[in-house]
Every structure is written in structure tokens, then in C-alpha cells.
Structure 1
């Protein structure tokens, strides 16, 4: 993972607020998912409405990434209580991420990795033991990237709103253990 030291301080990540621009966020999702849409994969984010963006944001904690002050990425963390819908997601210790996007012009610069790290930290703080996600089986570039980040295959699932079978991938969240100090 090569991180551009100059870009590092120009990137900020924070939870979304009511003041954030839903139109800009929805347009970012459309741009980021366009490649998947062209592959024939009907991800919700390919063409979801602003109302759907807001509904999905309300399902968990929506993080936004800004590069030099401009919106460039997003990820939605659902804690274990907010995660459900398939056997793995229904487990009490499993949190999940979704609605994950980085502006196509800024991909492969560590922004997605930073968003994933921020979501994992929030999941850890919420008490989750696993952080899961799902993506299209055919999106091999994404499946490979998640696997390089340490995610492992769990199961496949067919969601009602998609035209593809999804793979559920999950990462074991190692709880940071407090340092043992000798008295």
C-alpha cells in the first residue's frame, strides 16, 4: 500500500450530517458504480434516487471522505443490530458495510482503504467481532481487492433487488487489547 504523504493531510473523513449535499452524494455513487453498471450488474447505487440514498444513509453511520474539501468517497457502516438479511448478517456479532464508493478520478490512491479502516474502527467500537460486506460474484476486481484486505468468503446470497448472485465476505475484527503495564 503506497500512500502519498502529501495527499494524506488533504483527506478528511467524517460522519454525514443533515447539512451534507444528498444530490452530490448520489451523483458520486452513480459515477463510482458506472463501471459495474456497464458490466450489466444492477447494483442499487448504479441509478438510485436521492430518496434511496437518504433511506440507506439512515440504516447506519454514513461516513464521507473529502479530498481538498471536495466530496470524494463514502461508506455506510451498519452495526450488528442494524445488519441482517442473510444467515451470516443475522449473527449477533456481525456488522456490515455498504454503499461504498470512491470518485473514479481518485481511485487507487488509498481513499477507499482509509474509508474501510474508518468503518472497521467504528465497527470495533460498536462491539462487533466481524465486519462483513457483499458484492457481485462477477465483480472479480472488487472481490480480489477485499480479499487482499483480509476479507474471506463466507457464503453466496441472492438479493431481491439485484440481477446477480452476491458473495458475502467477512473480516475478523481484532479488538485492540489494552497494553499490560507492570506496576
Structure 2
């Protein structure tokens, strides 16, 4: 049974269920949402990952999807503290991580992504998570600005080895 978290206008936000939902549709949303970033020269993993990688990245995490007319149009994934490796900050006690956050281009800039991020922030705050972290390309100034306006601050740089850019890890105090 899918857990609906929020409904507004014609949109529904709920938990993605691996055994019920279409992983190929979720992967398509990620590939499409990150296409503009790819065109800007940023080779995020989500620009080209296949469904097996999407599945691997959401296993053990909490993946939300935004739907309109039962079609997935956005997604965000949350990993509990200690689950994301490769960065000193992500490995810090009490720091949860946001990953694979995207909205189909035709639905961007209407507030859906902001609502989904707010849901994750509220959800993890209730679980006692101290900080919520995420990362993006250092040169993706529009994304860094979006996160900064939401209270995220720069923590450190990291090179994931699977991208063609240096990432900026940003974090927000929740409690």
C-alpha cells in the first residue's frame, strides 16, 4: 500500500514502493530532470544512470515521488545518518542525506520540488536527525542558490569520482 504524504492541487506526494511502482518510470524522471544539467556540462550520475543503478541507490533509503494523474513527475530520496559514504560530513553522526532529487522539466519552477524537500525536512526532524545534507556541482549556481535560500550552508568539497565536477556538500540544521 502506498503511503500518501501530501496532496495539493492536482499533485500527490507519496512513498515509492519498489514492489509496486515502476523503476523505469522513476529512472526516466531522473534522467529527464538532470538533462539540463548535462547540457550545462555537468555529468551527474542521474543524467545517465539506468534502472539497476536507480534501484541500488534507493535500496535502504526512503524515496518519495510526486505524481500527477498517476504519473511520476518528481522524486527525492532520503538516506538515514550513516548510510551515505564518501564524505567526512555525510559520515558525521546525526547527518542524513538527500539524493536523487529531481522534477520533470515541464513541472519545474512551480514549487513542487520545494514542497518535496520540505516534506523530507519535516519527516527527518521528527526522527531526531540533527542535520540534513545534500550535494551538487560546484558550478551549478542556480541549485546552490536554491539550497542557500532554504537555509543550507556550504560544508565541504568532495570528488565522487563518477562525475566530471567537484561537488559542494551543503547542510541544514534541523533541531
- Compute the TM-score of the two structures, normalised by the length of structure 1: 0.88
Q: In the TM superposition, what is the alpha-carbon distance from 1:121 to its structure 2 partner?
A: 1.8
Aligned length: 168
Higher Rg: 1
Q: What residue ranges of structure 1 are gaps of 5+ in the alignment?
A: 1-6, 175-183
Structure-1 residue corresponding to 2:33: 32
Deviation per CA, 1:152-183: give whole Å up to 9, x if none. Answer: 11111111111100000001113xxxxxxxxx
Q: In the TM superposition, what is the alpha-carbon distance from 1:67 to its structure 2 partner?
A: 2.2
Is the 2:74–2:113 contact (alpha carbons within 8 Å) kept by the matching residues of 1? yes
Q: What residue ranges of structure 2 are gaps of 5+ in the alignment?
A: 1-6
Distance 2:109 2:60 in 1: 28
Structure-1 residue corresponding to 2:171: 170
Is the 1:83–1:94 contact (alpha carbons within 8 Å) kept by the matching residues of 2? no
Deviation per CA, 1:109-152: give whole Å up to 9, x if none. Answer: 11001110111122213321000000000111100111111111
Is the 1:65–1:73 contact (alpha carbons within 8 Å) kept by the matching residues of 2? yes
RMSD: 1.3
Distance 2:31 2:133 in 1: 23
Matched, 1:158 2:159: yes
Distance 1:121 1:163 in 2: 33
Structure-2 residue corresponding to 1:48: 49
Distance 1:125 1:152 in 2: 21
Matched, 1:13 2:13: yes
Distance 1:28 1:35 in 2: 13
Distance 1:22 1:90 in 2: 28
Structure-1 residue corresponding to 2:141: 140
Distance 1:126 1:81 in 2: 14
Structure-1 residue corresponding to 2:118: 117
Larger proportion of strand:
2
Q: What SS class does the counterpart of residue 86 from structure 2 fall into?
A: coil
Distance 1:104 1:163 in 2: 22
Q: What SS class does the counterpart of residue 75 from structure 1 fall into?
A: strand
Structure-2 residue corresponding to 1:178: none
Is the 2:73–2:107 contact (alpha carbons within 8 Å) kept by the matching residues of 1? yes
- Compute the TM-score of the two structures, normalised by the length of structure 2: 0.92
